[in-house]
Amino acid sequence: MNPEEFRAAAHELVDWIADYRLRVDDLPVRSQVHPGEVRAQLQTPPPETPQSFSDLMSDLENVIVPGLTHVQSANNFAWFPANSSLSSVLGDFASTGLGALGITWQSAPALTEVEELVTEWLRELTGLSPEWKGAIHDGASTAALVALLIAREKASNLSLAGAGLQGEAAPLIVYSSPQAHSSIVKAALLVGFGQSNLRMIEVDETTFAMKPESMRAEIEKDIALGNKPAAIVVAIGTTGTTAIDPIKESIALGKEFGIWVHVDAAMAGSAMLLPECAPMFDGVNEADSISWNPHKWLGTSLDCALLYVRDVELMIRVLSTNPSYLKSGVDGEVTQFKDWGLPLGRRFRALKLWFHLRLDGAEAIRARLRRDLANAQWLAEQVAATQDWEIVAPVSLQTVCVRHIPKAMAGDWQAIDAHTQNWVEAVNASGKAFITPSVLQGHWMVRVSIGVLGTEREHVTNVWNLMQEAAQPLNSSGFKST
Ligand SMILES: Cc1ncc(COP(=O)(O)O)c(C=O)c1O
C-alpha cells in the first residue's frame, strides 16, 4: 500500500469508525455470536495476492462488528469501563502512523520526552507528589509485575546479581487481599514468590477492605517463623466491589517492617483527579509504587497503564540492560524507558494520552467522572429504596453491587444464587444492557459498573428498569408477576 492508497482507505475507515461510534448504542451490547462463528466466516488460506479494501471493510462490518461485545456502548455496565475517547484514538492513529521505535532515547527522543511530560501532567492532575516518576505500561498486570520485581530485589538485596531467589535463606512473603485483582497473584507467582508465600489478609465483612490488625498479625507471624516480609499490595478500588484497603495503616506497617508497598488503583486512579475523592487516597504519597489505568475510566484507549515509583534508581538497577548496540553519547543525560519495564521496543503510547488531555482537557474529564459518581449514587438510592433489592457493598466509586432477594427465597442461598444468575442472564441476553455477575462471600451478586463515556442518567434508568423486569419471579403459571 502506498501513501496515496493509504490516504483514500484511511478516510473511508475514519468515516466508518465515526459512524460506528454514532450507532454503537443501538447494537446488542453483548456479542451474540457462538464460539467459532467468527473464525468460520473468515477462514481462508493465507492471502497470496492483494484483496480489495472494500471486501475487507465488508468483513469488518458483517463479521467483526457482530463478533464484538460493544464496550463503548452507553448501555455497557459490565466489568469496568474500558473507555476509548476519540481524541485518544487520534493519538493512537498518529502513533501507529509514525511507526516510531522506542528502544532508547535516541531511537525516538520525542517518544521518551512526551512520555515524561504526560506522566508528569497526570502526576500533577492527580495530586501525587513530585517525588514520583512514571512510565506507561500496557496494563496494570504488567505494572504489578514490575513493582513486585523491584520489591523482591529490595528485600533480597539485589539477589538477581547472584543466585537469585534460589539463593535466599528465608522465603520472601507477599501480603494482599483476597479481593485484589487476579493479576496480583499472577504477578507474585511469576516473580517467583510461590503460592505458599502469599498471604491473603482477612477483609472486613462490610467494607471488603483488608483489616490492618490481621495484616500485622500475619507479618509478625512470618517474622517469628524466620520468613522475610517483602511486599504489601494495597488495592484502591477492588474489581469486585471497589473496596478501598487501608492505605495509611498498610504503609505504616511497610515502614515499620521495611516492606515494599504497591498500590493497585487500576480503575479508581482516575478518581484522583477529583479533589473530593482525595480522602480515598490519603497517605498514598508514602507508598513505594502505584499503578492505575487511564485505559479504564479516564478514557485513553487501551492499552495505557501508568506505574509510578519513587526510587527510580533502584528500579533501574533491577531492570536495566545495556548491550553495546544500544549505547549512545547521551546515556546518563536522558531517560531510557527500556530500563523502567519489561520490553525493549516500546510503542509511542504517550501520544494517545497527549492527544486525549490536550483535545478534551482535564475540566471536561473531571465533569464526566463526577457525572458517573452521581449516577452511581442515584442508582444505589433507587436500589436501596426498592423492596427485595439490596446494596451489598459500599458504593465508594461508580460501581453498584446488588442482589435481588424475593421474600420467598430469603435464607435459601441455593435458590438466590440460581435466581441471580437467571436474571442477569436475562438482562444480558436481551442485548439492551450488559452487567457482570460476580461472587462475593461465596454467593452471586451483580455489579453495575457505570462510567462509559456516553452513559447518561437515562441509560442508568434503563438498566435499572431492565434489572427489575428480569428479576420478577415467575408465578405458578410461568408468567412474571406484576
Ligand atoms: C483493580 C484491578 N487491578 C488490575 C487489573 C488488571 O488490569 P489490566 O487489564 O490493565 O492488566 C484490573 C482489571 O480490571 C483491576 O480491576
Is 181 near ligand 1, meaning CB less than 6 Å away?
yes
pLDDT for the residue numbered 321:
85
- Report the distance separating Cα 187 and Cα 147, nearest Å: 9
Cα–Cα nearest to 264, from 242, 342, 453, 279: 242
- Report the distance separating Cα 449 and Cα 266, nearest Å: 14
Domain span(s) for CATH 3.40.640.10 in the chain: 92-360
- Dig out the grid coordinates for 287 from the structure: 507508598
Is 239 near ligand 1, meaning CB less than 6 Å away?
yes
Does residue 307 contact residue 135 with C-beta atoms inside 8 Å?
Answer: yes
Distance (Å) of CA 442 to CA 414, 416, 438, 445: 11, 12, 10, 10
Query: Ligand 1 centroid vs 59 CA: distance in angstroms?
Result: 31
pLDDT for the residue numbered 116:
98
pLDDT for the residue numbered 327:
80
Is 300 near ligand 1, meaning CB less than 6 Å away?
no
Query: Ligand 1 centroid vs 264 CA: distance in angstroms?
Result: 8
- Nearest ligand 1 atom to the CA of 239 is 16
Q: Would you call 168 helix, strand, or coil by DSSP?
A: coil
128 DSSP 8-state letter: -
Whose Cα sits closest to atom 9 in ligand 1? 139
Residue labelled with grid coordinates 455477575: 437
- Report the distance separating Cα 261 and Cα 231, nearest Å: 6
Question: What is the best residue among 80, 136, 138, 141 to mutate for testing ligand 1's pocket, by most ligand atoms within 8 Å of CB?
Answer: 141
Q: The domain 362-471: what is its CATH number?
A: 3.90.1150.170
Q: The domain 92-360: what is its CATH number?
A: 3.40.640.10
* Angle of CA points 301, 25, 62, to nearest 5°: 85
The backbone torsions φ and ψ at residue 228, rounded to the nearest 5 degrees and listed phi first, read -115, 105
- Nearest ligand 1 atom to the CA of 295 is 10
Residue labelled with grid coordinates 482477612: 202
- Nearest ligand 1 atom to the CA of 238 is 1
Distance of CA 430 to the CA centre of its chain: 26
pLDDT for the residue numbered 322:
79
Query: Ligand 1 centroid vs 181 CA: distance in angstroms?
Result: 6
The continuous run of DSSP H or E covering 311 comes out as: none
Query: Ligand 1 centroid vs 143 CA: distance in angstroms?
Result: 10
pLDDT for the residue numbered 376:
98
Is 141 near ligand 1, meaning CB less than 6 Å away?
yes
pLDDT for the residue numbered 474:
54
- Report the distance separating Cα 282 and Cα 280, nearest Å: 6
Q: Would you call 482 helix, strand, or coil by DSSP?
A: coil
Domain span(s) for CATH 3.90.1150.170 in the chain: 362-471
Preceding peptide of 311 cis, ω within 30°: no
- Nearest ligand 1 atom to the CA of 293 is 10
State the DSSP string of 173-205. Answer: EEEE-TTS-HHHHHHHHHTT--GGGEEE--B-T
Does residue 267 contact residue 397 with C-beta atoms inside 8 Å?
Answer: yes
pLDDT for the residue numbered 225:
98
Residue type, 404: H
Is 305 near ligand 1, meaning CB less than 6 Å away?
yes
Residue type, 29: V
Is 293 near ligand 1, meaning CB less than 6 Å away?
yes
Query: Ligand 1 centroid vs 399 CA: distance in angstroms?
Result: 15
Q: Which strands make up the sheet holding 434-440, listed edge to edge? A: 76-77, 434-440, 443-449, 399-404, 389-391
Classify burial at 10, counting beta carbons within 10 Å of its beta carbon; exposed 0-12, middle 13-18, buried 19 or more: middle
Q: Please state, as a whole number, how many other Cβ atoms lie within 10 Å of the Cβ of residue 109.
A: 12
Query: Ligand 1 centroid vs 266 CA: distance in angstroms?
Result: 5
Instruction: Return per-residue pLDDT of the chain as tens, 482 residues.
Output: 999 999 999 999 999 999 999 999 999 999 999 999 999 999 999 999 999 999 999 999 999 999 999 999 999 999 999 999 999 999 999 999 999 999 999 999 999 999 999 999 999 999 999 999 999 999 999 999 999 999 999 999 999 999 999 999 999 999 999 999 999 999 999 999 999 999 999 999 999 999 999 999 999 999 999 999 999 999 999 999 999 999 999 999 999 999 999 999 999 999 999 999 999 999 999 999 999 999 999 999 999 999 999 999 999 999 998 777 788 888 889 999 999 999 999 999 999 999 999 999 999 999 999 999 999 999 999 999 999 999 999 999 999 999 999 999 999 999 999 999 999 999 999 999 999 999 999 999 999 999 999 999 999 999 999 999 999 865 444 445 44
